[in-house]
A = this chain, B = another copy of it.
Amino acid sequence: MSRWEPDARGRLERAALELYLERGFERTSVAEIAERAGLTERTFFRHYTDKREVLFAGSSALQELLVDTVARAPGPATPMEAVAAALQAAAAVLQERREHARRRHAVITANAELQERELIKLAALAAGLADALRQRGVDDASASLAAEAGIAVFKVAFRRWTEQAGEKDLSEFIGESFAGLKAVTAGT
């Protein structure tokens, strides 16, 4: 990052989200994002490949956090306890950026292509969690089931968190969704 452009990445991200919400993702150009941020297009492309990447650049850090938390879970933790710890670690990060997360969610919900990209990202998170569980010695099927169920819990909790009128933490919604999953799963 150049010393003449402090927080260029953050400024570009905020400008992009503002514009995506104001006029829609499709109708926003990189030139407009750069202009709103008071930067050049050249600077934009030093930080992001394209305007979609502004929305998904955080995914690999999130994946790393989930995988590391599963790996570092105490030995006796069950697969689902390890997954829950990982999701709570992610929740803490997202809670800090609540306004950003909500805006991003609104932009993605309004665009079919972005929704698809988000699904693919969530599938990659599930695959990463499952791999991390296998590395802990969890059998193949249980690892996949715990990971996929964990991502299902996360999706439901995240949606409720972004849509709520109140101030409840994502962490609480995750806890509620785990309890909800346990309740529906017991009913078979």
A180 at the interface (CB under 8 A from B): yes
Chain A residues numbered 131-186 whose CB sits less than 8 Å from any CB in chain B: 141-142, 144-146, 148-149, 152-153, 155-156, 159-160, 176-178, 180-186
B177 touches A81 (CB 8 A): no
Chain B nearest CB: distance from A188 CB in Å? Answer: 4
The main secondary structure of chain A at its interface with chain B is helix
Q: A141-B160, A145-B153, A152-B149 are in contact. Are A186 and B182 (CB under 8 A)?
A: yes
Chain A interface residue number, banded = 20 to 34
How many copies of the shown chain assemble into the complex? 2
A80 touches B185 (CB 8 A): yes
Chain B nearest CB: distance from A18 CB in Å? Answer: 28
Q: A142-B180, A181-B145 are in contact. Are A188 and B84 (CB under 8 A)?
A: yes
CA A188 – CA B79 in complex, angstroms? 8
CA A141 – CA B160 in complex, angstroms? 8
A187 at the interface (CB under 8 A from B): yes
CA A188 – CA B87 in complex, angstroms? 13
